Structure 1
Amino acid sequence: MITKGNNVVVGKNVKFGENVTIGHNVVIYDGVEIGSYCIIQDNAVIGKQPTRAKNSILPEVTTLPPTKIGNGVTVGTSAIIYANADISDDVFIADLATVRERVTIGDKTIVGRGVAVENDCNIGAFCKLETNSYITAYSNLGDYVFVAPGVITTNDNYMARSKERYKHFKGITIKTGGRIGANATILPGKVINEDGAVAAGSVVTKDVDTGDIVAGVPARKLKEVSDDQLLKNQ
């Protein structure tokens, strides 16, 4: 059964599973697949094709494949999920979040209020991306990654100057169990290794080794993660 609110727009060849609830003013584009027991709240947009600014450095793109949403997914009010996103089972995408094209999100991950996950990112399972964090394009996050509110990740060391930058765009990598504290900034291409932790307000300019806690501007090793905090001991 599908329960729909007012002014819902559903495109061609959209597929629904069982017991899907759709709020008011939702737009679902052609070909989108939505699994069973999903909740799509008011004003959400699913399957939106990206548009390109005239002065964008990104290449022109043809029409992308439709979005796929697994079972038990919640999409919050005014959230936007672009085309060719693949959302796994029991993911929670909160109000005002944005998930761009060619993004994958693993099972039971939480994408918090106002979070932006830019294009071509892979997000693992059981992650928590908290309010207003920003995951830059071309980033990879493993499983059980924690990203606190206000975290900023970057992919352009040239800050939009010179064509040289085109060859060096690189997102960040947070491996399984990595954790980033509130308002930290991660510079392009940096790797937070397994169980690495970044203290709040830090600026990460070098890779973080497995099990290390780093802090400061620039971030330096403070100590090692205690045994009781390691992912394997949870």
Structure 2
Amino acid sequence: MEQIRILIIEDEANIAMVIKLELEYEGYTVEIKEDGRSGWEAIQKEEWDLILLDVMIPHISGIEVLRRLRAGDNQTPVIMLTARDAIVDKVTGLDQGANDYVTKPFEIEELLARIRACLRSAAGKKDQKDDDTLLTFLDLSVNTKTREVKRNGNQIELTPREYDLLVYLLEHPKQVLTREQILEKVWGFDYFGETNVVDVYIRYLRQKTDKPFETQLIHTIRGVGYVMKESK
């Protein structure tokens, strides 16, 4: 199992070392940076599963490090380490995208619990994101990240337009889609051709995703359009 990597950005050496030793005892891989500049460089160069970020650090403040991190759409979980009476720092950190904060001095058990909670939450979001890349209907699946199309375990090769058409149908299962709707979403607003182009591509798609298999998934609704549904 791959070890979880945690970056500590903390200028108080004693605190940083205590946290590091406790985390390593729990099985995490840990690295310490003592100022905002070196911490930001470590963030840019490597991937981390979680960052413990002190607010008051030299060169670049913890808040600025966090702001840069989120501005770059980096969603690595961040737990801010703040002084007990620094309410403004806590609010600012949360507003800038911190996942949690711990006030100093803190019990190590509390910090470990908050780290576990953040890691669980991040893992859940990652699983959700992975699920979002897979569109399925019965035994037909499309991985929108790799553009891989399979039915009953068999890989299907589609042209870019056939692929876009299939994805649109899968995004609206059991919903009757008119030819005009399909044209707008698959061909775009600037398409000025005839709507029968939809019928042509539906036929192409059926040849690959329906005809070789027992169950038909793409159905014609006469006078209206098409629907992805299970055969009765």
TM-score normalised by structure 2 residue count: 0.19
- Structure with more contact order per residue of length (Cα contacts < 8 Å, sep ≥ 6): 2
The structure with the greater share of residues assigned to strand is: 1
Q: Which has the greater radius of gyration?
A: 2
TM-score normalised by structure 1 residue count: 0.19
